[in-house]
Amino acid sequence: MIPMDDDMESGVLRSYQDKPRTFPSMRSKPHTPRIIRLLMGINVRVLLILLLLVFGGVFYIGAKTSPVIVFVFSVCIISFLLSIHLTKWVLSKDEGPPEMVQISDAIRDGAEGFLRTQYGTISKMAVLLALVILSIYLFRTPSPQQESSGLGRSASAFITVAAFLLGALCSGIAGYVGMWVSVRANVRVSSAARRSAREALQIAVRAGGFSALVVVGMAVIGIAILYATFYVWLDVDSPGSMKVTE
Does the residue 14 lie in any domain?
no
Look at residue 183 in the predicted model and tell me its pLDDT: 86
> Does position 27 have pLDDT exceeding 80, yes or no?
no
- Mean pLDDT value across the chain: 75
The DSSP code sequence of the chain is ----HHHHHHT----TTTS--------------HHHHHHHT--HHHHHHHHHHHHHHHHHHHHHS-HHHHHHHHHHHHHHHHHHHHHHHHHTS---SHHHHHHHHHHHHHHHHHHHHHHHHHHHHHHHHHHHHHHHHHHSPPPHHHHHHT--HHHHHHHHHHHHHHHHHHHHHHHHHHHHHHHHHHHHHHHHHTT-HHHHHHHHHHHHHHHHHHHHHHHHHHHHHHHHHHHHTS-BS-TT--PBP-
Cα-Cα-Cα-Cα torsion 110, 111, 112, 116, nearest 10 degrees, comes to 100
Q: How many domains does the chain have?
A: 1
Does the residue 121 lie in any domain?
yes
122-149: pLDDT as tens digits? 889 999 999 998 888 888 777 776 666 6
Q: Which domain holds residue 125?
A: 31-232
Look at residue 129 in the predicted model and tell me its pLDDT: 92
35/173: higher pLDDT? 173
Residue 42 pLDDT class (50, 70, 90 cuts): low
> Does position 158 have pLDDT exceeding 60, yes or no?
yes
Looking at the chain, the whole-number percentage of residues with pLDDT higher than 70 is 68
Closest listed residue to residue 176, CA positions, set 133, 119, 238: 119
> Does position 46 have pLDDT exceeding 80, yes or no?
no
Look at residue 243 in the predicted model and tell me its pLDDT: 47
Look at residue 131 in the predicted model and tell me its pLDDT: 92
Does the residue 10 lie in any domain?
no
Phi, psi of 244 (to 5 degrees): -90, 130
Look at residue 44 in the predicted model and tell me its pLDDT: 61
Look at residue 128 in the predicted model and tell me its pLDDT: 93
Look at residue 132 in the predicted model and tell me its pLDDT: 92
Does the residue 167 lie in any domain?
yes
6-21: pLDDT as tens digits? 444 454 444 444 444 4
What is the rounded average pLDDT of the residues 178-192?
86
Radius of gyration of the chain (CA): 26
Residue 53, classified by CB atoms within 10 Å of its CB into exposed (0-12), middle (13-18) or buried (19+), is: exposed
Look at residue 242 in the predicted model and tell me its pLDDT: 44
Identity of the residue numbered 200? A
Which of left, alpha, beta for 97 (phi over 0: left; psi -120 to 50: alpha)? Answer: beta
> Does position 33 have pLDDT exceeding 60, yes or no?
no
Does the residue 239 lie in any domain?
no
Look at residue 244 in the predicted model and tell me its pLDDT: 43
Cα-Cα-Cα-Cα torsion 226, 232, 233, 239, nearest 10 degrees, comes to 70
Does the residue 18 lie in any domain?
no
196-243: pLDDT as tens digits? 888 888 888 988 888 888 888 888 888 888 887 777 666 554 444 444
- The model's pTM is 0.66
Does the residue 12 lie in any domain?
no
Mention every residue, 6+ apart, whose C-beta is less than 8 A from residue 193: 199, 200
User: Per mean pLDDT, which range of 47-56, 86-95, 100-109, 228-237 is the poorest?
Assistant: 228-237
Does the residue 237 lie in any domain?
no
Closest listed residue to residue 189, CA positions, set 102, 104, 88, 84: 104
